[in-house]
Structures are given as structure tokens and as C-alpha cells.
Chains A and B, each alone.
Chain A
């Protein structure tokens, strides 16, 4: 494989999907191999609400909405500089997708959404791994993961591509790079 970094025109891509499907892993991998900058909603949340405990449901939902919009705000600064951006978050509600579309529309750049999915045994394995590594996800039991997954609303649209993260990262990256190829910078 070539070591050269693949360059893309300014655009917005999103890695969506329930917890532990590998959004951050793929986002970071993409930012290593290309000129995409990756913005993780968990980092945005941490900056605005620097505490770990979960809020009551209603307030938690609005804390998340703030975190999504702030994550997009940070991505917007890179977009303005002409850098393509990738954002990672569950995108479990329609409103999150709406504000994501507004980001791409206001910049007049293309949007691609990758919806990540993994088989349940893979998710279970990831929960175990992260717990033994001492880096547990907020979603730390398979029951909790199932519950969040049930709440996840299917994202539809012509810009949406499903990705099976039960496969290897290399396979996933290949699929993503193929979809993004038309957006690459032509020399």
C-alpha cells in the first residue's frame, strides 16, 4: 500500500451507528490515511460537560444535542479552511441528522453518511475488551447496548452507506475509500 496521504475536496462525512460499532476507530483511521479531520462527539461533550455521570433522561438528551451542535461547530472551522471533515456520533435522532445536513448545506459541500453495524457477538467482545483494558465505554453491558440499539432509528437517504464493522478495519477502509473516491482531489 502506498504511504502517500489521499487528499479530498472539502466535504462532510459522518460515521453513525449505535455504541461500540467502531465509529471512532474508523474515524481515526481515516484521519491518519487522508486529509480528513475527525471530530468525535464524545470529545465535544467532554469539553462542554466535564463530568462523567449520566444526567436524568430529559437533560441528557439536551446535553447530547448541545454536544452534537458543538461538534459540528468545531468541524465548521476546518470546513471554512477548506479541510474535509469527518464527524462521529450515534445520530440516533432525526434532529441530529437535520443539523448535520445543515452543516453540509450551509458550506455547500457534499455529505456522505456511513451507518456502522456489527453483529452482537462482536459488540459483546468489544465490551469485554474495553472493560479489561480499564477503558470501559459508557455502554458497558450487552443489555445496555441492546437498549440503545433499540432506540436507534434507521437513517435513510441516497447519501447513506451501511458498513459492517464485523469485518476487518482494512476491509471497511477499502469500502469507504471506494465510496469517497469521487470526492478525492484530482491533481
Chain B
């Protein structure tokens, strides 16, 4: 495999999918291999200037209330777009990873892409959304792996992960591409890079 970094023009790439579908893993790999600047919602929500989320061990109770859940998630998303706007203004492409558990959370993402298009006038939409789906039978090993890594995740049982998967709303649209993360990470990366060809920088002659 070539060690050369794949360079993209400014564009907005989103990785969506239920918890444990592999967003952070794929996002990390993509940000190593390309010039995509990676914003992982799990990190962004914790660096909001005012405390937005409680300590990890209290998160599950916190999120049981739907009003608080919507309001906190939307705020974290909007702040991620604000941070990403700075990167785009510097001429760099961005990669965002978030659950997008309900189609409504896509409204701010699409608005963000529209605003970028309106102000910076790229010829076509600069947004691509990849929806990651892991096979149900792989959930148990994914949960085990997380727990053994002492990853500070709120999703630490198969029941919880299955429940969240069930609640995950369909994400559709022309800019949406489905990725089966039951396949190898190399296959996933190939699929994603192929779908992003249109954003590749012209190679320097």
C-alpha cells in the first residue's frame, strides 16, 4: 500500500451509524491516510466551552430524558460544525463522526453543507454521508473489546447496543452511501475513498 497521503479539496464527509458500528475506528484510519480533519462527536461534546454532558458514569441517566438528549446532542453537533467551518475556511476537508440516531439530526448537517456551498460556491454539493452498519452477530465481540479497552463508553452491554440499533432511524438521500463494517477495514476504506474520488485534488504535475 502506498504511504502517500490522499489529498482532498475542501469537502464535508460524515460517518453516521449506531454505537459500535465502527465510526471512530474508520474515522481514525481515514484521518491517518488522508488530509481529512477528523471531528469525533465523542470528543467534541466534551470540549464544548460550557459543561454540556455530565461525567461518563452519569451519562445514561442524563440521557434518559428525551428533552435533554435532543438539546445536548443538537448543541454538540452545531458546535462541531462551527469548529469544522474554521477548517473549511482554511481550505481543508473535514470528517465528522456522530451517531445521527434520528433523521432530524441530519437537518443541521445539511444546513451546514448548504451554508458552505452558498458562501464558498463549490460547483456541486460538498457533502457525503456514510452510514455504517455492523452485523448484529458481531455486537457481542465489539462490546467485549470496548469494555476490555476500558473505553469510557455508555454502551457497555449487548442489550443496550441492540436497543440503540433498533432505534436508529433510516438515513436516506442522494448523498448517502451504506458501508458494511462487518467487512475488513481495508474494504471499507476502499469503498469510501472510491465514493470520494470526485473530491480528490488534482495531482501536481
Verify B119–A80 contact, CB threshold 8 A: no
A70 on the interface (CB 8 Å rule)?
yes
Interface centre among A61, A73, A99, A106 (most CB of B within 10 A): A73
Verify A103–B85 contact, CB threshold 8 A: no
B200 on the interface (CB 8 Å rule)?
no
In the complex, per-residue mask of A49-63: 1 if CB is within 8 Å of any chain B CB, else 0: 100000011110111
In the complex, per-residue mask of B119-140: 1 if CB is within 8 Å of any chain A CB, else 0: 1100000000000000000000
Whole-angstrom distance between the alpha carbons of A79 and B65 in the complex? Answer: 11
Verify A62–B85 contact, CB threshold 8 A: yes
B49 on the interface (CB 8 Å rule)?
yes
Verify B82–A59 contact, CB threshold 8 A: yes
In the complex, per-residue mask of B57-85: 1 if CB is within 8 Å of any chain A CB, else 0: 00000000111111110110111011001
Verify A73–B107 contact, CB threshold 8 A: no
Verify B85–A76 contact, CB threshold 8 A: no
A69 on the interface (CB 8 Å rule)?
yes
Verify A68–B78 contact, CB threshold 8 A: yes
Interface centre among B65, B81, B82, B120 (most CB of A within 10 A): B82
Verify B120–A69 contact, CB threshold 8 A: no
Verify B86–A59 contact, CB threshold 8 A: yes
CB-CB < 8 A to A77: which residues of B? 68
Question: Nearest residue in A to B81 (C-beta to C-beta)?
Answer: A62
CB within 8 Å for A58 and B79 given contacts A73-B52, A76-B68, A103-B71: no
Whole-angstrom distance between the alpha carbons of A115 and B69 in the complex? Answer: 28
Interface range for B: 20 to 34
Interface hits, B125-184 → A, CB 8 Å: none
CB-CB < 8 A to B66: which residues of A? 106-107
Output the least CB separation between A48 and chain B (Å): 5
Whole-angstrom distance between the alpha carbons of A80 and B112 in the complex? Answer: 29
Output the least CB separation between B159 and chain A (Å): 24
Give the number of chain A interface residues (Cβ < 8 Å): 30
Whole-angstrom distance between the alpha carbons of A58 and B66 in the complex? Answer: 31
Question: Nearest residue in B to A99 (C-beta to C-beta)?
Answer: B74
A130 on the interface (CB 8 Å rule)?
no
B89 on the interface (CB 8 Å rule)?
yes
Whole-angstrom distance between the alpha carbons of A65 and B79 in the complex? Answer: 8
Give the contacting residue for A65; candidates B52, B65, B89, B111; CB below 8 A: B111
A102 on the interface (CB 8 Å rule)?
yes
Verify B74–A63 contact, CB threshold 8 A: no
Whole-angstrom distance between the alpha carbons of A106 and B64 in the complex? Answer: 12
Question: Nearest residue in B to A101 (C-beta to C-beta)?
Answer: B104
Verify A58–B82 contact, CB threshold 8 A: no
Whole-angstrom distance between the alpha carbons of A77 and B52 in the complex? Answer: 11
B185 on the interface (CB 8 Å rule)?
no
CB within 8 Å for A58 and B72 given contacts A63-B82, A70-B50, A95-B107: no
A72 on the interface (CB 8 Å rule)?
yes
CB within 8 Å for A65 and B68 given contacts A58-B89, A72-B74, A73-B52: no
Taking A80-B67, A99-B108 as given, write out 5 further A-B residue pairs in contact, using a Cβ cutoff of 8 Å, ordered by the A residue number. A47-B49, A59-B85, A75-B71, A80-B68, A93-B111
> Ordered nearest first, which 10 A-B pairs have the shortest CB separation?
A76-B71, A73-B71, A69-B75, A62-B82, A58-B119, A106-B70, A95-B111, A66-B78, A69-B78, A69-B74
**Which residues of B come within 8 Å of A, CB atoms?**
48-50, 52, 65-72, 74-75, 77-79, 81-82, 85-86, 88-89, 104, 107-108, 111-112, 115-116, 119-120
**Which residues of A come within 8 Å of B, CB atoms?**
47-49, 56-59, 61-63, 65-66, 68-70, 72-73, 75-77, 79-80, 93, 95, 98-99, 102-103, 106-107
| 6 A-B contact pairs sorted by A residue (CB < 8 Å) | A49-B49, A69-B77, A72-B75, A73-B74, A106-B67, A106-B70
